[in-house]
Amino acid sequence: MPVSAPPRVLPALLGLPVLLFALITWQVVADGPLVGVDERLSRALVHPDRFSELLSDLGNVQVAVPVLVVALAYAAWHGRATGGDRWWLPPLAGALAMVLVPALVAPLKEWTDRPGTPAVPPASGYYPSGHTATAVVAYGAATLLLLGRLRAPAVRRGLVVLGALLVLGTSYGLVRRGYHWPLDVVASWCLGAVLLTGVRLVDRRTPWDVSRSTRRSSSGTPSSSNGPS
């Protein structure tokens, strides 16, 4: 059965990432003390190799977005098959969250104009990490949309672990390879968390997830659709 966050938890899930993102952005723009810590941490972590390169590629649009598209298609099919009135809303929310990634990241990169690490050619516009934001939203939204439509607890747990590993693997690869400073990655976690909270808020209000379908069946209420549940 899907676990719904209490009403008071969701605002916290939205507010805390916003505050942390604002703090990190302020430090980056003002070249504050956190930037010095960030640069020292990066020097300790950077060690470019083939494995970190491959992990960082998990944040490529060509890799992450098709995973989300499959999840969107399944969520749409499942919702329509179970006769939901607003079956299209959760897939639309997931797609909109993905569209908002470049819409938010691109102007932030231009505004902050942060230079890259010594491991990359001289350039600017590295904050926040677009690859990290893409991974967080694509794999995170895919996980959220599939989670409420799967019955087996073991499969659901495995899905959450897989989604987390994909995001963490991408983040580690970007920092280890030197493509991004650690704060670039953490800021994108915050940005992605805000967007995923929106997806979750939309998805939890739909009347056709697995738990509700199961409760209707167990109570003897006839289904509004002959399709699979």
The total number of residues written for the chain in this structure: 229
What is the pTM for the complete model shown?
0.85
- What is the amino acid identity at position 160? V
Query: Phi and psi dihedrals of 204, rounded to 5?
Result: -70, -15
How many of the other CB atoms lie within 10 Å of CB of 36?
11
How many of the other CB atoms lie within 10 Å of CB of 200?
23
Find out whether 132 and 184 touch, Cβ atoms under 8 Å. yes
Q: Which of 12-16, 59-63, 88-92, 128-132 has the lowest mean pLDDT?
A: 12-16
pLDDT in tens, 92-150: 999 999 999 999 999 999 999 999 999 999 999 999 999 999 999 999 999 999 998 88
